[in-house]
Amino acid sequence: MIAVDTNILVYAHRHDSQWHGQAAKALRALAEGRSPWAIPWPCVHEFYSVTTHPRIFAVPTPITAAINQLRAWLESPTLVLISESAGYWGVVSAMAESAKIDGPRIHDARIAALCLHHGVRELWTADRDFSRFPGVKIRNPLIG
């Protein structure tokens, strides 16, 4: 299963992103495909937070548009939303210790741990910080 990080969701949604075309195409292929794909719940929340934030975008996404975009993705019959469940704490705490994660970097560790915990084989992201987490295969679908 492939999971999608927040930045790919944002790029796919925001037409003003230089990566919009590639991200939208990649996400559409997942959403319209037959194979299961995943979005970690923290990425759903972060997508909403980033796209509607007036300090991030001069013209932020209107609340209704952000909610409608999420609804559209959530309607994909092959989408799996992944979240914490029994055993998750052991994965994320081990990851935090081994990668010496402190402060806000725990957010990336949380996403990586959710992917490992749910058997995700590949995380699509443009964030190179995930390379510090062994066991999570990272791919940037925006580059060849």
Number of domains in the chain: 1
Range of the domain at 21: 2-139
Domain membership flag for residue 73? yes
Residue 125 amino acid letter:
T
CATH of the domain at 101: 3.40.50.1010
Beta strand spans in the chain (E): 2-4, 37-40, 79-82, 122-124, 138-139
Instruction: Quote the CA–CA distance of 35 and 13 in Å, as a whole number.
Output: 22
Strands 122-124 and 138-139: parallel
- Model confidence over 10-40: pLDDT tens digits? 999 999 999 999 999 999 999 999 999 999 9
- Model confidence over 99-135: pLDDT tens digits? 888 898 899 999 999 999 999 999 999 998 888 888 8
Domain membership flag for residue 144? no
* Residue located via tokens 């975009």: 69
Domain membership flag for residue 52? yes
